[in-house]
């Protein structure tokens, strides 16, 4: 009788085993660094577009006021820096690959 109870417990434990699904699995370090590069480029480009839009709106609403025009120019400069950094993101990832040892 005790053997049947033990067998029943084993069967019930194995019947309730759950499978684990992994959705984001990187196959190599290069995949991870490539994903990082894509995220960095996307975020920087998105922020740069926001600054470009803010600069354009400030410039349009400046009405010739020198202080507001300078603020708009500052936003344009920030957008340019953001686009430049987004363009340099692949270079940064290549440097990280060399540091980590990826080929």
pTM for this structure?
0.62
Contact present, 77 and 83 (Cβ < 8 Å):
no
Contact present, 75 and 61 (Cβ < 8 Å):
no
Residue 3, domain member (yes or no): no
Contact present, 48 and 86 (Cβ < 8 Å):
yes
Q: Which domain holds residue 56?
A: 27-100
Q: Does position 70 have pLDDT exceeding 60, yes or no?
A: yes
Residue 17, domain member (yes or no): no
Count of domains forming the chain: 1
Residue 2, domain member (yes or no): no
**Could you give the angle at which helices 29-60 and 66-100 cross, rounded to 10 degrees?**
180
Chain centroid to Cα 37, Å, comes to: 8
Confidence of residue 23 (pLDDT cuts 50, 70, 90): low
Contact present, 49 and 21 (Cβ < 8 Å):
no
Residue 15, domain member (yes or no): no
What is the pLDDT, as a whole number, of residue 92? 81
Q: Does position 41 have pLDDT exceeding 90, yes or no?
A: no
What is the pLDDT, as a whole number, of residue 86? 86
Q: Taking the CA of residue 95 as centre, how many other CA atoms within 13 Å lie in the half-sphere pointing to its CB?
A: 5
């Amino acid at each position: 009788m005790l053997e049947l109870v033990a067998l029943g417990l084993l069967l019930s434990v194995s019947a309730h085993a759950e499978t684990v699904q992994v959705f984001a699995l990187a196959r190599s370090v290069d995949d991870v660094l490539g994903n990082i590069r894509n995220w960095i480029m996307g975020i920087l480009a998105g922020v740069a577009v926001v600054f470009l839009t803010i600069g354009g709106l400030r410039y349009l609403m400046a009405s010739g006021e020198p202080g507001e025009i300078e603020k708009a120019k500052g936003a344009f400069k920030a957008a340019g820096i953001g686009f430049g950094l987004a363009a340099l993101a692949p270079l940064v990832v290549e440097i990280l690959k060399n540091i980590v040892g990826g080929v």
